[in-house]
Amino acid sequence: MDVRVVRVDGSGGTPPMSRRPAAVPRTHHNTPGLPGEITHLDTGKRKNSLRGPSGAARSSARRRPPGSARYGTPPLAENRRLPNATGFVAVALVAVGAAVAQAFGRFTYGVLLPAVRDDLAISNTVAGSLGTINVGAYLLGTVAVASATSRYRLLDVMRLGFVASTTGLVLAAVAPTAWVLGLALFLTGLGGASIWIPAPVIAADALAPERKGLAVALMGSGIGLGIVFSGQLSSLVRSRLGDDSWRTVYVVEASIAVVVLVATLAFIGHSQHRPRSQRVGIGGFGVLRRMPGWLPLTLAYTSFGFMYLLVIAFLTTRLEDDSGWSGTRASLAFTLLGLAVVFGGPVFIGAARRTGARPALAVAFLLWSVLAVAVLPGWVGLGMVSSIGLGLVFGGIPGMITLYVVENTSLDDFGPSFAAATLAFGVAQMLSPQIGGLVADLAGSFTGVFVLSSAFALTGTAAALRLPGRAAPG
């Protein structure tokens, strides 16, 4: 004869050995210590029958919801469902969401800035301030996410971010004044932080553990494709319809965002339970400090925030003004950079899985330092190759840093930890364009800007070399 277990939902199973009673009475009974489970002696008669000491008790048990905590089921299990989209389908959908958050919500305005300025008849100062509103909202969102992810599931935070970003893009598509556009950019900044911080770990959990690196890499690829798409869309619309058609770009992007929002709400799930409430410190740094190598990683991410915008923001201007390139040739170089971003994550994360995070990150920073200076002579062939290399590094470094945090934090700690690191990065990227513009104005050229970017990259190299030995992401 064998001892069987019948749960109140009618399914059978064998209890753990440590919980099995020393002796099984020859009568049916409720076993102490096994909430919601009834053992009975299986003699081949009425298998899987549900019987208890009384009919009333049995009826009461049947009325209890199967997800009740009284039966030992984890909290919120009754509200959690398996994701309808799994594997690479889920990763692709989250990657498109990353494009909505970063490429549409944050980088499109920089491409449209001249058209927005002329159409709304605002000054360069006001136009620049609108961009600052977006960056400031992103930083504010980062702080908010650090606190929110310690209390709410990552998926819930990401969904809220999609609502904010989509609302902002819709508002930008109909913005009649600079003030309304500023509110739209504020919402896309908040939404960008709320989407980007949870997205990597949600995507990573959709694949097998050995493919987490690929999932995180594809997040960067999605952003790269979004940047290329928004840049080409902006160029096409403005060339055919004029500068006053900049809202059409946001109409297209808002339409895509609505589709992604609906798909995310309907098809993306995550198995995380509601996290335990914890003290996260200012901006999440209280949690980040528990991660091994947190200080050098944060310094490396901060260095990246300074160095990349000094090149990305001024590359075409440097090539046109200082090197005498035509606008078409300079735009081609920037397009090549954007396309290379798509492949940067998979290339460098693949290298990091083989060698470890420390050497892979150090090589990436060192490569940027060399390539930033290689642009300066203005040679066409070298400039094009350098642009491709800069795009690969631009796509690779954030992916490696993100995956390092994914692999070295628990699910509950990831949100606050990554938010804290992103906050340091965000402050750096907010200051970087102002520093670059000041250097260019003082020197009368952009040579010093690219040299400064190279110097920040060397700082990142030094920080990467301070990471723990074999902390290989993926």
The enclosing H or E element of 3 equals strand 2-7
Residues 271 and 448: their CA atoms lie apart, in Å, by 49
| % of the chain with per-residue pLDDT over 70 | 77
Task: Please report, as a single letter, which amino acid is at residue 118.
Answer: D
Confidence of residue 364 (pLDDT cuts 50, 70, 90): very high
219 pLDDT above the threshold of 90: no
Please provide residue 242's backbone torsions phi and psi, each rounded to the nearest 5 degrees.
Answer: 95, 170
Look up the CATH superfamily of 280-474. Answer: MFS general substrate transporter like domains (1.20.1250.20)
| Orientation of helix 246-267 relative to helix 212-241, angle to 10° | 150
The pLDDT of residue 295: 93
Confidence of residue 40 (pLDDT cuts 50, 70, 90): very low
The pLDDT of residue 470: 58
| Lowest model confidence (mean pLDDT) among 9-23, 266-280, 411-425, 441-455 | 9-23
Alpha-carbon distances, residue 432 vs 47, 295, 308, 313, 439 (angstroms): 72, 21, 9, 9, 11
Beta bridge partners of 399: none
**Residues 44-67: pLDDT tens digits?**
444 343 334 444 444 444 444 433
Confidence of residue 325 (pLDDT cuts 50, 70, 90): confident
User: What average pLDDT does range 195-221 have in this prediction?
Assistant: 82
183 pLDDT above the threshold of 90: yes
CB 158 within 8 A of CB 90: no
The enclosing H or E element of 4 equals strand 2-7
199 pLDDT above the threshold of 60: yes
140 pLDDT above the threshold of 80: yes
CB 423 within 8 A of CB 146: yes
**Residues 96-130: pLDDT tens digits?**
988 888 889 888 887 788 788 888 988 877 887 88
CB 397 within 8 A of CB 348: yes
More confident residue, 13 or 457: 457
The pLDDT of residue 51: 39
Confidence of residue 389 (pLDDT cuts 50, 70, 90): very high
Q: Where are the alpha helices (DSSP H) in 149-245?
A: 154-173, 178-196, 199-204, 212-241
Alpha-carbon distances, residue 70 vs 37, 38, 64, 66, 73 (angstroms): 11, 14, 9, 9, 7
Residues 93 and 89: their CA atoms lie apart, in Å, by 6
The pLDDT of residue 271: 67
Residues 48 and 187: their CA atoms lie apart, in Å, by 56
Beta bridge partners of 4: 40
The pLDDT of residue 338: 82
Residues 69 and 294: their CA atoms lie apart, in Å, by 37
The pLDDT of residue 434: 79
431 pLDDT above the threshold of 60: yes
Confidence of residue 300 (pLDDT cuts 50, 70, 90): very high
User: What average pLDDT does range 384-398 have in this prediction?
Assistant: 93
Confidence of residue 367 (pLDDT cuts 50, 70, 90): very high
Please identify, in words, the CATH class of the domain defined by 82-277: mainly alpha
Contacts of range 13-17, beta carbons closer than 8 Å, 24 or more positions apart: 15/39
Count each helix (H run) and each strand (E run) in the chain, helices first.
17, 4
Task: Report angle CA 212, 214, 219 to the nearest 5 degrees.
Answer: 100
Residues 289 and 276: their CA atoms lie apart, in Å, by 18
Please provide residue 37's backbone torsions phi and psi, each rounded to the nearest 5 degrees.
Answer: -120, 140
**Residues 338-351: pLDDT tens digits?**
889 889 888 998 88
Residues 102-126: b if buried by 16+ CB within 10 A, e if exposed: bbbbbbbbbbbbebbbeebebeeee
Average pLDDT in the chain: 78
* Rg, C-alpha atoms of the chain: 27
The pLDDT of residue 355: 87
The pLDDT of residue 357: 86
Burial (CB < 10 A; 0-12, 13-18, 19+), residue 389, is buried
Confidence of residue 234 (pLDDT cuts 50, 70, 90): confident
Residues 189 and 167: their CA atoms lie apart, in Å, by 11
| Lowest model confidence (mean pLDDT) among 81-85, 89-93, 380-384 | 81-85
3-state secondary structure (DSSP) of residue 377:
coil
Confidence of residue 188 (pLDDT cuts 50, 70, 90): very high
| Lowest model confidence (mean pLDDT) among 36-40, 62-66, 277-281 | 36-40
Q: Where in the chain is the domain with CATH 1.20.1250.20?
A: 82-277, 280-474
The pLDDT of residue 173: 95
Beta-sheet strands, E only, within 8-156? 12-13, 29-30, 37-42
Q: Which of 74-78, 351-355, 387-391 has the highest mean pLDDT?
A: 387-391
The pLDDT of residue 276: 60
3-state secondary structure (DSSP) of residue 286:
helix
Confidence of residue 456 (pLDDT cuts 50, 70, 90): very high
The pLDDT of residue 113: 80
Confidence of residue 278 (pLDDT cuts 50, 70, 90): low
Q: Where are the alpha helices (DSSP H) in 242-356?
A: 246-267, 285-288, 294-312, 315-317, 327-355
Residues 68 and 76: their CA atoms lie apart, in Å, by 9
Q: Which of 140-144, 188-192, 222-226, 432-436 has the highest mean pLDDT?
A: 188-192
Confidence of residue 145 (pLDDT cuts 50, 70, 90): confident
